[in-house]
Amino acid sequence: MALFAYRAIDAEGKVSSGNLDAVNAIDLELRLKRLGLDLLTFESAHTSAAARSRRISRTELITFCFHLSQLLKAGVNIIEALTDLRDSMENPGFKQVVASLLEDIEGGLKLSEAMANHSYCFDGVFVSLVRAGEQSGELTQVLDELTENIKWQDEMASQAKRALIYPVIVFVVIIGVIFVLMTVLVPQLAEAFKTLVPKLPPETEFMIALSKIFVKWWYLMLGIPALVITGGWIYTRTNDNARRWLDEQALKVPILGAIRQKIILARFSTFFAMLYRAGISVLECIHICEKIVGNRVMEEGLARVGRTISEGTGITAAFTNTRLFPPLVLRMLRVGETTGALDAALLNVSYFYNREVRESIARMQQMLGPLTTVVLGTLIVGILYTIFLPIYDVIGKIKL
């Protein structure tokens, strides 16, 4: 199935454009007909670009899962439920995705198989859980769990952003204050010192020299770090070794590294528990979780766990051998493996780390406020001290 960019017209004469999956031009025209559109023009669309243009928000996925679950619980069959959802959607991209799901299901595919064709909307965990729900006959329960899980993902993403954005804002403020002082205040005072103080202290001369560098080369001082950061970001996206090194260092950063690790462990525990509770095997759960932890070091660790378990080692022993998982996770795994309630044990881990992440971010934000004040105050006092030191010397030499 290919992806086409099209322009079409509806019954009221309104022209619209978008992207739609279809086998060929005839199939594209038929699919648009079912949407109440007449095809005008079309061309092949690049998959990744189209996927980005049709990205679905978590809020829309939550609404989709909730409404689909409610319709199925009410006894509505899957075709009619998806038709109702398609007709009520405001997002044109998601509307096309649901229309494509309808086409595939009417063509004989299961819901999970149809969703697998839209990986930019439904990730591997989503598809695996829907497949498990279809096999067990508990699709509505799985959809309810997905609704809660996507809400949890949204909350975790928000917490992660707060953990990273606030320090960045503080850093930018500090850099901004330094630039204002060094490019505006210090040069003005330096001009006044030329007539007031014939001999400047070494500290003041150093500060004035540093200020001249800021004034003359400010664009390099801002541009070079920006280019280095941008180049490093691109390099880590295109080089696996560099990406792994960056992911490894991210776990070692003071405070932020610990928060990052807790977020990863909470995500792993939650998804593993959901998949295992849905009836998916331990090895398949681990394989799916490899792709969602978001860190190469942890991904490689889970891959080693999967290989070790497949060779006959116990679950707890396999996780212990990686030396990546803290005692709490290992203890809960041991309890779950012993009692047979692995999903419940991992949900306890997820609850603990979710609480830890929230508390850690709150503590960090409380600490950053006073710390920012101290850092800014120290910088300003240090700069002003070196600038006004000559004035104090002059005043001290005046004989009354």
DSSP labels, 280-329: --HHHHHHHHHTTS--HHHHHHHHHHHHHHHTT--HHHHHHHHT-S-HHH
Q: Is residue 232 part of a domain?
A: no
Q: Is residue 296 part of a domain?
A: yes
Angle at 247 between CA 151 and CA 322, to 5 degrees: 90
Burial of 15: CB neighbours in 10 Å, binned 0-12, 13-18, 19+ = exposed
Question: Do 35 and 62 have their domain in common?
Answer: no
Q: Is residue 51 part of a domain?
A: no
Q: Is the pLDDT of residue 47 over 50?
A: no
Contact 41/7 with Cβ under 8 angstroms?
yes
Question: Do 98 and 185 have their domain in common?
Answer: yes
Q: Is residue 385 part of a domain?
A: no
pLDDT of 356: 86
Q: Is residue 266 part of a domain?
A: yes
Question: Do 61 and 188 have their domain in common?
Answer: yes
State how far Cα 106 lies from the chain centre.
35
Name residue, tokens 């309630």: 341
Query: Which residues share a beta bridge with 148?
Result: none
Question: Do 191 and 72 have their domain in common?
Answer: yes
Question: Do 8 and 98 have their domain in common?
Answer: no
pLDDT of 50: 44
Q: Is residue 76 part of a domain?
A: yes
The count of structural domains within the chain is 3
Question: Do 186 and 279 have their domain in common?
Answer: no
Angle at 300 between CA 296 and CA 304, to 5 degrees: 170
Lowest mean pLDDT among 25-29, 115-119, 145-149: 25-29
Range of the domain at 133: 57-196
Name residue, tokens 């909350």: 155
DSSP 184: I
Query: Which residues share a beta bridge with 13?
Result: none
Q: Is residue 120 part of a domain?
A: yes
Question: Do 301 and 324 have their domain in common?
Answer: yes
Residue where a domain stops, chosen among 145, 163, 196? 196
Q: Is the pLDDT of residue 46 over 80?
A: no
Name residue, tokens 């690049």: 46
Question: Do 20 and 107 have their domain in common?
Answer: no
Question: For the segment 102-138, what is each residue's pLDDT rounded down to a tens digit?
Answer: 888 887 888 988 888 887 788 888 888 888 888 888 8
Q: What CA–CA distance (Å, rounded) separates 204 from 135?
A: 77
Question: Do 84 and 107 have their domain in common?
Answer: yes
Query: What percentage of the chain exceeds 90 in pLDDT?
Result: 4
Q: Is residue 70 part of a domain?
A: yes
pLDDT of 1: 58
Question: Do 25 and 65 have their domain in common?
Answer: no
Mean pLDDT, the chain, as a whole number?
81
Query: Which residues share a beta bridge with 20?
Result: 4
Q: Is the pLDDT of residue 38 over 70?
A: yes
What pTM was estimated for this model as a whole?
0.67
Residue among 55, 62, 276 nearest 150 (CA): 62
Q: For residue 178, what is the domain's CATH number?
A: 1.20.81.30
Residue where a domain stops, chosen among 167, 196, 225? 196
Question: Do 291 and 338 have their domain in common?
Answer: yes
Q: Predicted confidence band at 53 (pLDDT cuts at 50, 70, 90)?
A: very low
What contacts 55, CB < 8 A, 6 or more positions away?
A: 93, 120
Question: Do 18 and 102 have their domain in common?
Answer: no
Neighbours of 246 (CB within 10 A): 18
Question: For the segment 273-285, what is each residue's pLDDT rounded down to a tens digit?
Answer: 888 888 888 888 8
